[in-house]
Amino acid sequence: MTDPWQECMDFAVAIAKKAGQVIREAMKRDISVMVKSSPADLVTETDQKVEAMIISSIKEKFPSHSFIGEESVAAGEGCNHTDNPTWIIDPIDGTTNFVHRFPFVAVSIGFTVNKEVEFGIVYSCVEDKMYTARKGKGAFCNGERLTVSRQQDISKALIVTELGSYRSPEILSTILSNMEKLLRIPVHGVRAVGSAAVDMCITATGGAEAYYEMGIHCWDVIAAAIIVTEAGGVVMDVTGGPFDLMSRRVIAANSKVIGERIAKELQIIPFERDDGNQ
């Protein structure tokens, strides 16, 4: 039986490559920066241009499909996730990195049908690493199969997270205290690369044992989540419960053991859900 979504996946890889080329070219020029929800929440013309290019190309080929895009939502469109085939897009995951030319910048494209993720593409375009995963068929980077780390001892784990763009004293204090709790276990270390999608893909490669964050959005994690699970890892809520795409929080880990151990340390930061539900 032919895979009904393979054509969509092949198209996503091609469009992500094209978007990556646009981003790499833009990094050689002056970048005009605007701010969104906080002075550290940045957006550029390239984010908007790349998203428009991705969505218009997909719409032309698959006119009946739905879209959730970071910049479209920022411009006032809803974040309405239905059973219809849906493309969830982050044109530049790691915009602050892009602005500073810090080399971890990714195009993230996730695709869902009946709200189930069918495939995910994360193109780390400065490194030229194309991470891909198709449901039930494994995860790959530039064609090589990925497998998560086998480390089950939290004290030998390397953890990835992000400090985020929130600058309120309460949120910052919780972010830093969560990090401190993990360091006190102790873990081998905590890293922050500046892109949730790349952080999760590094976990999928076995380069880190886990990634966690609160305050991220569905478009940051959707594609990388299937890359982690198809590499043999797990995604869960920061409470240790089931992962909820719209909840704005996630732990991606090599195993349930490591994920749940991290969940035990984390104080929850309440963020409004992406879908606006309570």
Average pLDDT for the chain: 97
The answer to whether residue 276 scores a pLDDT higher than 90 is no
- Set 46, 95, 112, 132: catalytic member: 95
Q: Which ranges of the chain would DSSP assign to H, the alpha helix? A: 6-26, 45-61, 70-74, 95-100, 169-184, 196-205, 218-230, 256-265
Q: What is the pLDDT of residue 220?
A: 98
Q: Is the peptide bond before 169 cis (omega within 30 degrees of 0)?
A: no
Q: What is the pLDDT of residue 1?
A: 64
**Single pTM value for the model:** 0.97
Q: For 238-266, what is the mean pLDDT?
A: 98
Can you tell me the distance from the alpha carbon of 122 to that of 198, in angstroms, rounded to the nearest whole number? Answer: 8
Looking at the DSSP bridge assignments, the partners of residue 211 are 160, 252
Q: For 98-105, what is the mean pLDDT?
A: 98
The answer to whether 90 is a known catalytic residue is: yes
The answer to whether 41 is a known catalytic residue is: no
Q: What is the pLDDT of residue 277?
A: 82
Degrees (nearest 5) of the Cα angle 4, 200, 77? 65
Degrees (nearest 5) of the Cα angle 267, 155, 236? 45
**pLDDT tens for each residue of 146-192:** 999 999 999 999 999 999 999 999 999 999 999 999 999 999 999 99
Can you tell me the distance from the alpha carbon of 250 to that of 237, in angstroms, rounded to the nearest whole number? Answer: 5
What percent of the chain has pLDDT above 90?
Answer: 95
- Set 47, 51, 93, 274: catalytic member: 93
- Set 47, 90, 209, 274: catalytic member: 90
The answer to whether 112 is a known catalytic residue is: no
- Set 118, 220, 230, 265: catalytic member: 220
- Set 54, 89, 92, 251: catalytic member: 92
Q: What is the pLDDT of residue 2?
A: 82
The answer to whether residue 41 scores a pLDDT higher than 80 is yes
Structural Rg of the chain based on CA atoms: 18
The answer to whether 272 is a known catalytic residue is: no
Q: For 31-49, what is the mean pLDDT?
A: 94
- Set 47, 70, 118, 230: catalytic member: 70
